[in-house]
Each structure stands twice: as structure tokens, then as C-alpha cells.
Structure 1
Amino acid sequence: MRPVLVLLVSTAWTMTAAQYYYQGLMDYLENRLLAIEDRMQFWHDQSHRYHTELQDFKKLTAEAVDGLSSEHGSLFKDLEGAAVRVDRVEREMDYVEAQTSPRACARQAEKVVEQGVWGLEESRGEEEEEEEEDWEELHSRVSDCVEIISGIRSVKILKRVGGPKGMWTRDPRSSRVYVFNGTSGDVIYRFNSVQDFSRSPGLAGGTQIRLPFAWSGPGSAVHNGYLYYVMQEADTDLQVVRYDLMSGTVTDIAMFPVDSRASVYNLNPETVADLAADDEGLWLLFATSDSEPNINLAKMDPATLDIEQIWDTRCPRENAEAAFVVCGTVYVVYNTRLVSRSRIQCVFDVNDMVISEEAPLLYFPRRYGAHASLKYNPEEKQLYGWDDGYQIIYRLTMKRKMLV
């Protein structure tokens, strides 16, 4: 009987212990579930708050974008209005400069009277015969070309082809156009006319001419069927080459007395010398050395390339970008290193027929950059300009010089 009682007591104790164990386990699991539910509720609250804040941010962003779009439209209209006003001001500036601009500097002989009357300051009487001799000597230096530029009549932007620097010109003897792309090379391009050049898709549309010697700088000239160009290699003197465009042969080469590779134009250092052709013949603009402040001018014989005479134009090289010659008068075009408006600011007449009152101070219409070259065609009274890869034609208006 006693063993049975012991067994019953032991069993009751074991069941009671198991009940306490499972009850503790259940309490633990319940507490963990409550903690998880609290954490889930917290996450839900946080997610709802973030969603609300995101919606508010989207709303504010949309309002800001709408405001910026409205301000952009208003600013764009203001800029359009400003562009119109700038164009109007520029046209007015062109008009004012053409009407009231100060005269450019003009170089003249001491014997030329500023009132435009030919004569000498010496008294008449016993020296009358000597005065007549001086008159005939001065008059013999004057050619039949008696025109001076009075303005730019129109501007035509033909096309854009090639690099930012180069040269193009038309032979006054024919309608053919010659294009020099870049600042050096041994290849040029020929087109039958300005119209053909304008319609061509590029330089490949022209006839390629390979020269026997490379040209240096955009300072070549075409005159009466001949190409005149500058040739200068490293550590060599400057040479002028005469090339027959019909036969394709070099007919003459002349050495030129230049001490160094000084550029003739400060803003275009690639132009070591600039050849120009007009009604009076062939000219060469150059600088004798880097220390020479002014541009020099030489008259050359187109057939033999002999130097006939040399002048110091007293036109500074500083800020010069290009120059051209019309009727024996040099027109030097200036600009600034921060590209602005090109202008003719210095004039030199080899025949001493231009006085200060008639020397033009002309402004070129604002375009893209600065002229790499300007070539005058005496038959058409036009300039062929190369401006940042654009080929431009300037039609000029002329007037007679006062002292004729």
C-alpha cells in the first residue's frame, strides 16, 4: 500500500511541475508576440508618416516645378526682347559710326596741301620753273586709279567650309575661284565660279591643285592668271613664288629681305607676309623683324618679282588682323584679342593723295570672329573675307580721291 501512495504523490508532483513549465512557456511566447505586435504597429505608424511626408514633398516639388516653368517662360520672353533691343542698338551704332565716326589716321606727303589743291608751299616767281618740275614728278607717281573706299554697301555670307583660318579669292582675269584651307599646305582648290563654289557640298567639289612648293600663311594673291604665294620653311628666308595657273609650272621665285619670321599682323601670327593685288599691280605687306612696330609695304613687279619700292606705312602691327590694297592705298583692319568689331583704322596711300578728312574709318558688320584674310577684287570692287570658316563677300562703295 505504501509504494502505491508514493507513486501517486510522485506522479502528482511531476504533473504540477509540467503544468508550471508549460504555463511559463506560454507566458513567454505571449509576451514575445505582444512585443512583435508593438513593433509592427510602430513600423506601420512610421510607414504612414513617411508616406504622408512623401506626398507632401511631391506636392511641394510639383508647385516648385510649375513656378520655375512659369519663370523660365517669362525669362525667355525677356531675353527675346533684349535680343531685339540689342540688334536695334547695333544697327543704330552702325549708322552713328558711319555718320559721325572720327577720321582714321592717314599718311600723306608733306608737300600735299590738306585743302586738296595740288601745289607746293614755295613762293612763285623765280622758282616757278622748279615748282613745275616738282609737280610733274609728283604727278608721274599717280596712276589712273583714283578711287578710295567710302563705305560697305552690302554683306553676303556665302557659306561655311574648311577650318577657322584660310583664304579665298577670285581671279580678276576670269571667273575662277581659288580656296586655301588652313594656314599652310601644298594643296589649293579651284572652282569655275563663285556660284559653283556656293553650290558645292564642300572643298571636294572643286578641282584640287597640288603645288610644287608648300604655301605658308593665308597671304596669297591671284593676279592675271598667276598665283603668288609665300613660301617659308624652318630656318629659311621668306620667298615669293610665281605660279602659272594655266600651265601648272613655277615661273619665278624671289628671296625677300626679312630678318626673321615676324608676322605682319599681330592677331594672325600665321601670316608671315601678305600679298595683295589691285589695279596698280602686286604688293607685299610684311614686317622686317619682331621688334618692328609698323607694317611695311613693298611694290613688286608682277613679271619679275623685283622690288620697285618699299614704304613704312606707320600703321602699327599691334591688334592688326588683316589688310588689303585698293588703288595704291593700304587699308589696315584692326580688332582686339577679345574679338569685337573689325574696323579700318589706318590708311596709307603711296601716291600721297589721301588726306585725313577723307580717310575712311569703316566698321565691318559684326560676324563670328576675326578675319583671317581679306582679298580685294578690283574688277568687282569687292572684298573676299574668311571669318572663322565662313566665306564672306563685302561689296564696297567707292569715291574719287580729293586730290585729282
Structure 2
Amino acid sequence: MKPVLLFLVSTAWTLTGAQYYYQGLMDYLENRLLAIEDRMQFWHEQSHRYHTELKDFKKLTTEAMDALSKEHSLLFKDLEGASVRVDRVEREMDYVESQTSPRACANKADKVVEQGAWGLEESRGEEEEEKDWEEVQSKVSDCVEILSGIRSVKILKRVGSPKGMWTRDPRSSKVYVFNGTSGDSIYQFNSVRDFSSSLGVSSSREIRLPSEFSGTGSSVYNGYLYYIQQEDETDVQVVRFDLMTGMVTDIAMFPVESHALVYSLNPETVADLAADNEGLWLLYAASDNEPNIHLAKMDPDTLDIEQIWDTRCPRENAEAAFVVCGTVYVVYNTRLASRSRVQCLFDVNDMIVSEEAPLLYFPRRYGAHASLKYNPEEKQLYGWDDGYQIIYRLTMKRKLLV
């Protein structure tokens, strides 16, 4: 009996211990579930709060966007109105400028008349009159035209880089395109019409130069290309290239500093070659400390310098220049490109002074001119403006004495 009793007691003890163990496990699991439920409830509360805040933020954002949209619409309407007013003012300015031509003047003894006859004051004696007449004749060249306005503008197309140069040989119909501010290739078209109808420069005749041109100051004159070449940091050379034979016929070293820019708004152009009825000209800056643009008359056959002038036209804010009948017209702009204007003139014959000539504005276009090339046969300017090729037809007047 005793072993049986011991067995029963042991079994009862074991069952009681197992009951306590499982009861503890169930209590632990119940506590963990309660904790998870508490956390889930907290998460639901936080999620509801975040959702409410997000809805409030979305509402505020929508209201702010609606207000900004209304303000944007009002501002856009104001800008449209301002643009209309600016265009109206520009048209009125263009009309006034077309009706008002630059006034020309000579020295104290002489003035200019538009009737076409040379004359002097009646109060002078015959000897003084003849002396003044001879003095005037010695100063006035055969070319007696001055620019009075821009008659029309034609935007031909857009080809190539934002900066470049294109021009037409005055003695032929051929057009030459310089894509960019440096390179050893230029492109020739048979006419302006061929260039206008082309898809690019692929249909043109490519001309390889023996050296790279520098800047947008090249010029074509009487079948020859004249361009600026820089072999190092100090040498600036003018190259005369025969477009017919493809040979260099002459090279001239020019005494200018390579870092002295002729136009402050076109830093790629060290010197600018220009052609007109009088021949070949070179616009340059003698040194970086020189504030004004200088002008040199060149022999187109030998590249010799015949005469040099200080134009008294500042280089600061200048973007381009061109020469018409021995008169330099310097075009100015701003660092943030706006409307180009001729603000300074210089006449090698002292027949025009810049102070007495009115401002001449170019119609507002895309940016600033990288180059302006005058064709004396057509009386047109070939401009390159932010990759657009533009033709400006000019109105001319005569320099005549009163």
C-alpha cells in the first residue's frame, strides 16, 4: 500500500505543478495580447491625428495655391498690359526715329544742307569763301551718305551657334557663314536665297582655312576674306585669304594686346574688320587700359595701315560696330541683353559729331548682336543675334553743306 500511496501523491503533485505552469503561461500570453491591443489602439489614435493634420495641411495648401494662382493671373494680366504698352512705345519710338534723321555738322565755317548744293555764308568775301571751300573739299570724301534709320527688318533663319557671323561679298552674290567664334572652316552659299532655303550648312560649300579665325570680326571684300588670327597670347594678325584660289596672299601683324577687347560685351572679339565704300577698316583697342575704340584705315591689297583715329567711343557696354562711308556707328547694349542702340558716332571726315546725332534703336529681338556687317552695295546690315541671321535694310541721307 505504501508504494501505491507514494505514487498517487507524486502524480497529484505533478498535475498540480503542470496546472500552475500552464496557468502562468496563459496569464503571460493574455498580458502580451493586452499590451499589443494597447499599442494598436495608440497607433490608431496617432494615425487618426496624423490623418486629421494632413487634411488640415492639404486644405491650407489648396487655399494657398488658389491664392497664388489668382495672384499669378493678375500679375500675368499686368505683364501682358505692360508688354502691350512697351510694344506701343517702341513702335512710336521707331516711327519718331524714322521721321528724325541724324543731323550732320562740319567745322565752324561749314554746315550741311539737304538740298544738295555746296554754299557758304554770303557775308564773307570771295577770298575767304574760296579758302573755306578748298578746306571742305579736302576733308569730304566721295562717299557722302550717313545712316538715318532702319527701314525694315527680316529674320532669315536660325542656324548654328548663339554667336557667329555671316556676310555677303559686295562684289558678288555669295554668302559666307562663320559658325561660332573660332574654327578653321567657313561655309559658302551662292546667294541669300540659297542660304535661306537650306536646312543648314550641309548643302553649302565648305572652305577650309589654313589657320583658325578668332572672334566674329572677319570681313569679305572684293573676293578676299580678311580674318583675325591669334597664334599665341600676344600676337594678333590680319590674314588676307583669296576665296577663289584658296591661298593666303598676305599676313600683317597688328600691334594690339590680345586681351584688350574691342567690345566689352563680346569678349571673343579682339578686333573687328569692316568694309564699306571707302575700303577696309579695323576697329580695335590699343590696350586694356584704353577706354575708347580705335579705328584704322587699311590698304586692302597690302594690309598697310594708312591712318589711325581715336573714335572717342567707349568700349564699355559696346556689343558691335560697323562703318558706313567712313563713319563708325558703335552699337551698345547692357549686360542683361535688351534693346541695341547706336549711341556713338565717329566720322573720319569730321562731318558728323556724335553729340548732335539722335539715338538710333534696333527693333527688339532675341538678345545681343554677336556681329553686324555692312554691305555697301545693298545698304544692308547682316546681323547675328543669338543664332538668328537677320537683315536690316537701312535708310541713308547725304552729307551736304548749308
TM range (shorter): 0.7 to 0.9
Equivalences, count: 397
**Matched AA of 1:336:** T
Structure-2 separation of matches of 1:115 and 1:141: 13
Q: Check 1:210–1:112 CA distance in 2 against 1; reply closer, same or farther (3 A cut).
A: farther
Q: Check 1:176–1:64 CA distance in 2 against 1; reply closer, same or farther (3 A cut).
A: farther
**Could you list the runs of 5+ residues in structure 2 that have no partner in the other structure?**
none
C-alpha deviation, 1:60, in angstroms? 3.9
2:246 aligned partner: 248
Query: For each residue in 1:195-244, what CA deviation from the matched residue of structure 2 results, as whole angstroms up to 9, or x when unmatched?
Result: 32233332333211012343222111112222222233226654333322
Structure-2 separation of matches of 1:213 and 1:153: 38
| Contact 1:104–1:344 (8 Å) recurs in 2 | no
Q: Check 1:268–1:115 CA distance in 2 against 1; reply closer, same or farther (3 A cut).
A: same
1:386 to 352, 363, 384: 384
Matches within 5 A, 1:50-65: 50-53=46-49, 55-57=51-53, 59-60=55-56, 62-64=58-60
| Contact 2:277–2:376 (8 Å) recurs in 1 | yes
Q: Are 1:227 and 2:232 matched, yes or no? A: no
C-alpha deviation, 1:191, in angstroms? 1.3
Identity %: 62
C-alpha deviation, 1:374, in angstroms? 0.7
C-alpha deviation, 1:402, in angstroms? 5.4
Structure-2 separation of matches of 1:381 and 1:165: 23
Q: Check 1:108–1:348 CA distance in 2 against 1; reply closer, same or farther (3 A cut).
A: farther
1:369 aligned partner: 367
Q: Are 1:171 and 2:169 matched, yes or no? A: yes
Q: Check 1:141–1:196 CA distance in 2 against 1; reply closer, same or farther (3 A cut).
A: same
Which has the greater radius of gyration? 1
Structure-2 separation of matches of 1:65 and 1:29: 53
| Contact 2:166–2:177 (8 Å) recurs in 1 | yes
**Matched AA of 1:180:** F
Matches within 5 A, 1:248-397: 248-258=246-256, 262-355=260-353, 359-397=357-395
Question: TM-score, normalising length from structure 2?
Answer: 0.84
**Matched AA of 2:247:** T
- Tell me, what secondary structure is at the counterpart of 1:188? strand
What do you get for the CA RMSD once the two structures are aligned?
3.4
Structure-2 separation of matches of 1:231 and 1:356: 32
- Tell me, what secondary structure is at the counterpart of 1:152? strand
C-alpha deviation, 1:9, in angstroms? 4.8
Structure-2 separation of matches of 1:320 and 1:105: 20
Q: Check 1:220–1:19 CA distance in 2 against 1; reply closer, same or farther (3 A cut).
A: closer
2:73 to 58, 65, 77: 77
**Matched AA of 2:198:** S
1:135 aligned partner: 133
| Contact 1:107–1:349 (8 Å) recurs in 2 | no
Query: For each residue in 1:247-297, what CA deviation from the matched residue of structure 2 results, as whole angstroms up to 9, or x when unmatched?
Result: 333333344444665322222233222111122222221222223222222
- Tell me, what secondary structure is at the counterpart of 1:32? helix
| Contact 2:187–2:201 (8 Å) recurs in 1 | yes
Q: Check 1:84–1:10 CA distance in 2 against 1; reply closer, same or farther (3 A cut).
A: same
Question: TM-score, normalising length from structure 1?
Answer: 0.84
**Matched AA of 1:24:** Y
Matches within 5 A, 1:63-142: 63-64=59-60, 66-67=62-63, 70-71=66-67, 73-95=69-91, 97-98=93-94, 99=96, 110-111=107-108, 113=110, 124-125=124-125, 128-142=126-140
Q: Check 1:82–1:177 CA distance in 2 against 1; reply closer, same or farther (3 A cut).
A: farther
Q: Are 1:10 and 2:6 matched, yes or no? A: yes
Structure-2 separation of matches of 1:49 and 1:295: 78
Matches within 5 A, 1:153-232: 153-232=151-230
| Contact 1:354–1:402 (8 Å) recurs in 2 | no
| Contact 1:104–1:356 (8 Å) recurs in 2 | no
1:25 to 15, 21, 24: 21
Q: Check 1:105–1:173 CA distance in 2 against 1; reply closer, same or farther (3 A cut).
A: closer
C-alpha deviation, 1:121, in angstroms? 9.0
| Contact 1:340–1:366 (8 Å) recurs in 2 | yes
| Contact 2:104–2:112 (8 Å) recurs in 1 | no
- Tell me, what secondary structure is at the counterpart of 1:340? coil
**Matched AA of 1:267:** L
- Tell me, what secondary structure is at the counterpart of 2:188? strand
Query: For each residue in 1:290-326, what CA deviation from the matched residue of structure 2 results, as whole angstroms up to 9, or x when unmatched?
Result: 2322222222333343433322211122222210011
- Tell me, what secondary structure is at the counterpart of 2:202? helix
**Matched AA of 2:244:** M
1:49 to 45, 50, 53: 45
Q: Check 1:12–1:96 CA distance in 2 against 1; reply closer, same or farther (3 A cut).
A: same
**Could you list the runs of 5+ residues in structure 1 that have no partner in the other structure?**
none
Structure-1 separation of matches of 2:347 and 2:32: 102
- Tell me, what secondary structure is at the counterpart of 2:19? helix
C-alpha deviation, 1:168, in angstroms? 0.8
Q: Check 1:96–1:85 CA distance in 2 against 1; reply closer, same or farther (3 A cut).
A: same
